[in-house]
Amino acid sequence: MRAPIQTAETICVGTELLIGHTLNTNSHFVARQLSLMGINSYYQTVVGDNPDRLLAAIRSASTRSDCVFLTGGLGPTADDITMAVAARAADRNLTLHEPSRQAILEIFTRMGREMTDNNLKQAMLPDQSIVLPNRNGTAPGCIIEFEQDGADKTLILLPGPPSELRPMFLEQVKPYLVQRTSRILRNTFVRMIGIGESKAETVLKDLIDSQTNPTIAPYAGEGEVMFRITQLAQSHDDPDNTGPLLEEVTKRAGEYIYEVGERKMHEVVADLLVERHATLSMAESCTAGLAQSMLGEIPGASRFLTGGLVAYANEVKREMLGVPAELLEREGAVSEACAIAMADGCRLLFGTDYAVGITGIAGPDGGTPEKPVGLVHLAVSDANGCETRVMRINGNRARVRGVAALNAFDLLRRRILG
C-alpha cells in the first residue's frame, strides 16, 4: 500500500502564463480543492516551455511534497513538453496508449476533420501510469506513482484548459485522492450578503477566537462574506460536530445568510425560479448583460430565463421598455423611477413572472456630485408591484458592475421568498 498523500503542490506549465498573456486560474482551482480535502499545499510554481527548467522544478517539488500536480503542456505541438518531462522525472518510458489514440481519432471524426500525425503525441503516455480520459478534449491526463529517494511520490498531469481540467479533477482525480488521504474534512460553507467582513467577524468574534475542532474562518468576496466551518475527523464514523456551530452562526447572523452550501447567489435564484416554475427577464444598463451572462452559465437556463436586453441608450429605454421621455427628462436615467419603469416595461415586453431593472454609473467617468460614480438603482417587478434598492458601490468599473449584479439577484431572491 502506498503512503498517504498529506502534502501537494502545483506546477503550471506554459510560457503564456509567465508573460501574463493567460490568466492562471488552474492553480486557484487546484489549491481550493486540495484545501477542501485537507491536503496541505505550501508551494505553487509557474514554469515556461523549457524542458530543463521543468525537470528541475518537478524534482525540487517532489523533494518537498508527496504529490505534484502539473497543469498544461499536454497538447500536440512541439512546445507541449509536460508529458515527456514528467515521464523522465519518474524514470518511465512513453508508449502509445491505444484507447487514447482511438478516443482522439473519434473526436476528429465527429468534427469532420483529419487527425494529423502530431496528435498521436497526445496518446503517448508513461508506462504503468493511471490514464485519465478526457471527455472534453483531446489531451488525456495521467497519474504517475513512483519512488524518489525511497519515498512514495505521485505526479498528476492535467490538461491546461479549465473546461477540461476541472471535470477531470472532480470526476477522476478527487476520488483517487480520497483513497490516498488519511484525513477526513467536513466542510460547511455559509454565504452572507448585506454585511461587511469586519461586522460579520465582530458578530462571530468569540466563536472565531475560541475555535478548536470544528473551526470557523471568514473569507471576503466582492459584495459578500463567506464563512467556512471545518471539522477534522479521524474516520467516517466520527460524529458530525459542525451542526451546533452552524446553528449558533445562523442564530446570530441568519438575516444575512442566503446559502448554507456552495451555490452562488445567481444559482440560488435560478433554483428558486425553477422550483416555482417562474420565469424571468432582465433589463440592464450599467451591467451591460453581466447578470444575464451569469445565468447563462447555468445548464438549462432556458427553463427560467425568457429573455432580456441591454438598455444603455435612452432611446432603447423609451422605445423598447416604454420608459416615458418625461420621466427620463425629470428624474434622469440613473434614478429609482427609471429602474422601476425598466423592470415594469421588461416584464410586459417578455411576459415573465419577474423582471429586473438595473441602472447606474459604473465609471470611471460620468459621475456628478448629485449622482457619483458607483450609484446604482435596482428594481424587481412582479404582478404585485415593484421593489427597489439603491446602492453606492466603491471600487473600479468591474467591481461596481459585479456588486450591482449580485445585489440585483439578492433583491430578486428576497422578492421571490416574500
Residue 235's pLDDT is 78
Q: 270: which 3 cell numbers?
A: 435560478
The per-residue pLDDT for range 230-260, each reduced to its tens digit, is 999 887 788 999 999 999 999 999 999 999 9
CATH fold group of domain 265-417: Maf protein (3.90.950)
C-alpha separations of 1 from 158, 178, 363 in Å: 24, 14, 59
Which helix (H) or strand (E) segment holds residue 175: the answer is helix 174-180
Structural domain 7-180, CATH architecture:
3-Layer(aba) Sandwich (3.40)
The per-residue pLDDT for range 109-152, each reduced to its tens digit, is 999 999 998 999 999 999 999 999 999 999 999 999 999 999 99
7-180 against 265-417: fold identical: no
Domain spans of the chain, in order of start: 7-180, 184-260, 265-417
Q: What is the pTM of this model?
A: 0.84
Helices (H) and strands (E) counted in the chain, each on its own, are: 16, 17
**pLDDT less than 70: residues of the chain:** none
Q: What is the DSSP string of 294-322?
A: HHHTSTTGGGTEEEEEE--SHHHHHHHH-
Angle at 248 between CA 242 and CA 250, to 5 degrees: 100
Structural domain 184-260, CATH architecture:
2-Layer Sandwich (3.30)
Residue 238's pLDDT is 87
Q: What is the DSSP string of 342-405?
A: HHHHHHHHHT-SEEEEEEE--SSS---SSS-TTEEEEEEEETTEEEEEEEE--S-HHHHHHHHH
Cβ atoms of residues 58 and 43 within 8 Å: no
